[in-house]
Amino acid sequence: MTRLAGKLAGKIALVTGAGSMTSSMGNGGMGNGKATAIRLARDGAAICALDLNLEAAEETCTLIRAEGGTAHAVAADVTREDEVIAAIAKCLETFGRIDILQNNVGILRTGGAMDSTVEDWDLMVHVNMKAVFLPTKHALPHFVERGAGVITNISSIAGLRYLGTPYIGYNATKGSIISFTRNLAAEVAPHGIRANAILPGFVDTPMAREVTIQKSDTPDAIDWDALDQQRAARIPLGRVGTPWDVANAAAFLASDDASYITGTEITVDGGVSCRV
């Protein structure tokens, strides 16, 4: 892809979860956060790529720089307040300000109401909710001071409905992100700040593949193409989504084209919600 028209030229974007796993699982190691960082950079934004794994964040930055973009990698655990504070300070030190906060970090564990472990439940609440709350909490003073800012949170259509697989902890925490985003938008709108959520459906990411592998008794025998075809049969548009589909929605919400959009959700699911 080539650099686009530059709707985000001059903007600074802090993208959490901007790294991704390697290509060992066959989709190029491209997760939602990594694709979004690259997509925002293609629209002209300078990227502060934050990830728990500095090497993964650096890989994303290398890809951005190879296309002529500007990017700086920062390592932080977004569930640790001290590390989030330090990461935001580093981003401000490097770029001088932040215009866009893109919260991508999340984890998934399988299990229904009876067989989910307390440990898995606590872990998902800890990661999926704090990963949105802490970066938002500590970016907001900067946004309020400037009277501007855009916050986009990755939730899931699983936060609204049961999709046929028991992921009750994941679904509950993703649903909480929708509520968090709506409340946040109403609270910060008087300061010129917008907040929205993106709800992906079936998207081919390293995390999705890792969960499939964990559930399989014969992970080495998984036929990814056949699995994609099975999932595509549930999707009105006839294909599984890619991280670029999510990234394109994020780029729109971050731009002035969405200047009158706040407190809502964009569903990126190929029409699955129409059938479920």
170 is catalytic: yes
**All structural domains of the chain:** 12-270 (3.40.50.720)
Instruction: Give the pLDDT confidence score for residue 226 in this predicted structure.
Output: 77
**pLDDT band, very low/low/confident/very high, at 23 (cuts 50, 70, 90):** very low
Rg (alpha carbons) of the chain, rounded to whole number: 18
Condensed to tens digits (0 to 9), the pLDDT of residues 177-226 reads 999 999 999 999 999 999 999 999 999 888 777 766 666 567 666 676 77
- Phi and psi at 45, nearest 5°, equal -75, 145
pLDDT given at position 175: 97
Q: How far apart are CA 154 and CA 177, in angstroms?
A: 8
What are the Cα distances from residue 82, in Å, to 52, 87, 135, 139?
14, 9, 11, 13
Selected residue with higher pLDDT from 249 and 3? 249
The reported pLDDT for the residue numbered 28 is: 57
Query: Residue 173's pLDDT band (boundaries 50, 70, 90)?
Result: very high
> Residue 5 above 70 pLDDT?
no
In sequence order, the 6+-apart residues with CB closer than 8 A to the CB of 131 are: 16, 17, 78, 79, 103, 105, 106
Q: At what angle do helices 32-42 and 54-66 cross, to 10 degrees?
A: 30
CA end-to-end span of the chain, whole Å?
33
Which structure tokens are listed for 2?
Answer: 């080539």
Given the residues 162, 167, 170, 260, the one annotated as active site: 170
Spatial separation of the C-alpha atoms in residues 248 and 106, rounded to whole Å: 19
pLDDT in tens, 110-163: 899 999 999 999 999 999 999 999 999 999 999 999 999 999 999 999 999 888
pLDDT at 216: 57
Could you report the per-residue pLDDT of 54-113, keeping only the tens digit for each?
999 999 999 999 999 999 999 999 999 999 999 999 999 999 999 999 999 999 998 999
Q: Using an 8 Å Cβ cutoff, are 40 and 2 in contact?
A: no
Q: Given a cut of 50, is residue 24 above it in pLDDT? A: no
